[in-house]
Amino acid sequence: MNGVLVIDKPAGLTSHDVVNRVRRILGQKAVGHMGTLDPMATGVLPLVVGNLTRLAQFYTASEKRYEGVIRFGFATDTYDAEGTPSGPAQTVEVSLEQVRDLAGRFRGVIEQTPPPFSAKKIQGVPAYKLARKKRAVALQPVQVEIKEFEILGVEGECASFRARVGSGTYMRSVAHDMGQILGCGAHLHSLCRTAVGEFSLAEAHGLDELAAAAESGNTEGLFVHPRKLLPEFPSVAATEETAARIRAGRSVNLPDLSKAKLVKVFYGQSELIAIATRIAGTLFHPKIVLAGEASLQLAGPQKGG
């Protein structure tokens, strides 16, 4: 069983919880996720299954889209609604214009300090493990990009928003920092991830839906069609002879694809057999083989792939 599956993660489960459930449902050990989603958050959690777990390396910098609600009036230690309030709640009234003006300060490339309860590591230890032990967490600011950040509405102390961000951006930190600027405190009240890379909420499936499909032996229709994966890489069809060489991890000549550095190699319409990297001209070497006798990560003849 090899493929990519988009799960609509429910609130209350960690990304690892979802991976473990899918392993049990599919009876498949090789399952991984492509981008952690906080336990409180819901929405798009792409999973890679079987040999296609090797595709995860190409999604580390994927753009993400979110919709959520920021609550003003008090901050929390986790920067979200599951945390302990940092102080008593204040009665606040924020206007739509005020919050929209403030949101404008967060658009673009900014310096952001990750939340203390996060997977960021301090001397090899995840920050959240230190925070749970009440130990000091001193995370350094990092550059992130917030490409879109739109305040959709304000009701009482809550502001709803939509955002499109680069990899590594924490909307929890955005909410916390907005509260700091206003002087009233704030936290992320709710969050739904609506897209990761090319994967959207429209094609996501619930865990119950997956379990029912597995029970009836009809899970194939829930997987993303391989042709939709990594749309930024051109696709090329391999002949039987070429496919055999690629499956064995050998270099091959492929059609010229406008000097693309990486290409997806298919055998037939739906069997993704490799991601290949250009060596020179039309000569390509498989960077990873996803099907066949090699089916492994390949070093390749040149550094970096």
Catalytically active residues are 38
Q: What is the DSSP annotation of the chain?
A: --EEEEEEEPTT--HHHHHHHHHHHHT-S-EEESS---TT-EEEEEEEEGGGGGGGGGGTT--EEEEEEEEES--BTTSBTTS-BSSPPP-----HHHHHHHHGGGSEEEEEPPPSSSS-EETTEEHHHHHHTT----PPPEEEEEEEEEEEEEETTEEEEEEEE-TT--HHHHHHHHHHHHTS-EEEEEEEEEEETTEEGGG-B-HHHHHHHHHTT--GGGBPPGGGS-TTS-EEEPPHHHHHHHHTT--EE----TT-SEEEEEETTTEEEEEEEEEETTEEEEEEE-SSS--SB---SSTT-
